[in-house]
Structure 1
Amino acid sequence: MSGVPTLLVEHSTLFREGLCKLLARTGFIVTAMVSHSDEVETDSSPDPELIIVGVSENDTGFEKNIRALKTRFPQARVVVLADQYIPDQVHTAFRLSARGYLMKTINCSTLIKSLELVMLGESIFPSAILTRMVDEQGVDIEIDDEIVTEVPTISHSSRSLSAREMQILQCLVRGQSNKMIARSLDIVEATVKVHIKAILRKIHVQNRTQAAIWAVNRLDPPPAVLDGHGALDTHGAAYKSNRVHMAP
């Protein structure tokens, strides 16, 4: 993954500048910072590939802001950073095809990994809020089997994992294929498959994507791998793109 042009839209100057400094250490290149979508310059270049939108509890212009950004930059992936989970905001984010809804209280490493997954085609939304929306509001939501959630519902410890399984989990976080894992650890691909099946069973998840999210939330991340230009290197790996559908 090369450097990702990123637009920050956030009312708080302090939060905006802090996030900019955090992203400067990664493969995300902040090309503009504004407090509202109206402030984005018409001749800004390059167009952002990622737009991070900060929202507060009483942000009445949330939907208008997202619509304006999606209209202006239709190819960009939008991620919402919220003060707290607001069901109406989550519903709106889904409806407007945002790719993620995260809390501003998220830790730095999990935020960066979440943004990386978004750029690799994943959608990241809190599973707890989706369930509550269905139960309380009767919202019709259809989610693919491999949908990524910010906080997986399982809470099992990593103590039962072997040292080799921990290594393979970190490879999954980096998006490596079985063949790439086998090459980097100097083992055969069939052995990798056996280890991954054991990992899924031990941490009680269904697939490698959920295992990667589990690891992001519970294990210390390895140092970021950067290329010579300061861009994040994921070794050419790509995650399966998932879809999230919500009836308006």
Structure 2
Amino acid sequence: MRGIPTVLVEQSTLFREGLCKLLAKRGFLVIAMASSVDELDAATLPDVEAELIIVGAKDDDTWLEKNIRALRTRFPDTQIVVLADRYNPDQVHTAFRLSARGYLMKTISSSTLIKSLELVMLGESIFPSAILTRIVNDHGLDIEIADEIAAEIPPISHSSRTLSAREMQILQCLVRGQSNKMIARSLDIVEATVKVHIKAILRKIQVQNRTQAAIWAINRLEPVSRPINASVAGKANGMSLLP
């Protein structure tokens, strides 16, 4: 079986089926679909362990919280991403509080959705920056976000300089979610050299941090065989904010 085992929880049958076909073409294997968590019984789910669950959000905030809680109880180690029809600050807060890894709009492009899901599987959390900032202010949350990772995803640049072979290697390591120490060990170089290369990469491709570099690479380089699970990636220590 190939692809990331994925479960879809979405009321709209048409949307579910369309999303299933889209995901199947991009490395995600939908193993079960349902309109609510209550429908995900033992007969519905195969023996394969789900690694990603996508939940379609209704306007009913209570419904979303109930379903995420139920999913988190049944699938404690599975990444959960919410797909919403419209921005709802209360829902974003609920998703964030219940350890969902992303809150995305159904109006985004298919390519942005796939890139976001790939980043989630690399250990990142994807939330809309404007809404998350409002939540921080309204609810007094103490959220510390590393400067290296917390930056809005930039538009694609086509004016980057040529990367060296070593820089390409390191860029692929960033896509895999490896730390500087892991990169140094795998390439048999010192960590200080890795830092120098990363600074050069960021300058050449005109991005600000490692996450943006990974997004840039996903858009341009040959994809890795499969995005690795966050537990393998070392559970990346930050979050990405969508504009």
Q: Deviations over 1:54-97 (max 9, x none)?
A: 11334541111111111122221111111122110010001111
Work out which of the residue numbers 224, 231, 237 in structure 2 matches 1:242.
237
Unpaired runs of 5+ residues, structure 1, are 227-231
Q: Which residue of 2 aligns with 1:118?
A: 120
Quote the offset at 1:103 in angstroms.
Answer: 1.5
3-state DSSP class of the match of 1:133? Answer: helix
Deviation at 1:178, TM superposition (A): 4.5
Is residue 2:67 matched to residue 1:65?
yes
Once the two structures are overlaid, the 10-residue window that deviates more, 31-40 or 97-106, is: 97-106
The one-letter code of the counterpart of 1:138 is H
- CA change 1:111–1:164 in 2 (3 A) is same
Match of 1:158 in 2: 157
Deviations 1:202-247 (A, max 9, x none): 6352x3124324x27xx84445454xxxxx266xx83552267xxx
Match of 2:88 in 1: 86
Which is worse superposed, 44-53 or 154-163? 154-163
| Counterpart secondary structure, 1:197 | helix
TM-score (norm 2): 0.74
Q: Tell me the CA shift for residue 179 of structure 1.
A: 5.7
Corresponding residue for 2:129?
Answer: 127
Percentage identity across aligned positions? 58
Distance (Å, rounded) in 2 between the aligned partners of 1:10 and 1:95:
21
- Cα distance in structure 2, aligned partners of 1:240 and 1:196: 20
| Partner of residue 109 from structure 2, selected from 100, 107, 110 | 107
**Cα deviation, residue 139, structure 1:** 3.0
Residue identity opposite 1:140 in structure 2: L
1:220/1:201 CA distance change after superposition, 3 Å = closer
Return the offset for 1:162. Answer: 0.3
Distance 1:27 1:17 in 2: 16
Q: Which amino acid aligns with 1:242?
A: N
SS of equivalent to 1:19: helix
Number of positions where the alignment pairs a residue of Structure 1 with one of Structure 2: 227
8 Å Cα contact 1:147-1:242 kept in structure 2: no
Offset of residue 156 of structure 1: 6.7
Greater Cα shift, 47-56 or 169-178? 169-178
Once residues 220 and 30 of structure 1 are traced to their aligned partners in structure 2, the CA distance between those partners, rounded to angstroms, is 23
Q: Structure 2: which amino acid aligns with 1:49? A: E
SS in 2 for 1:32: strand
Cα RMSD after superposing both structures: 3.6
Tell me the secondary structure at the aligned position of residue 83 of structure 2: strand
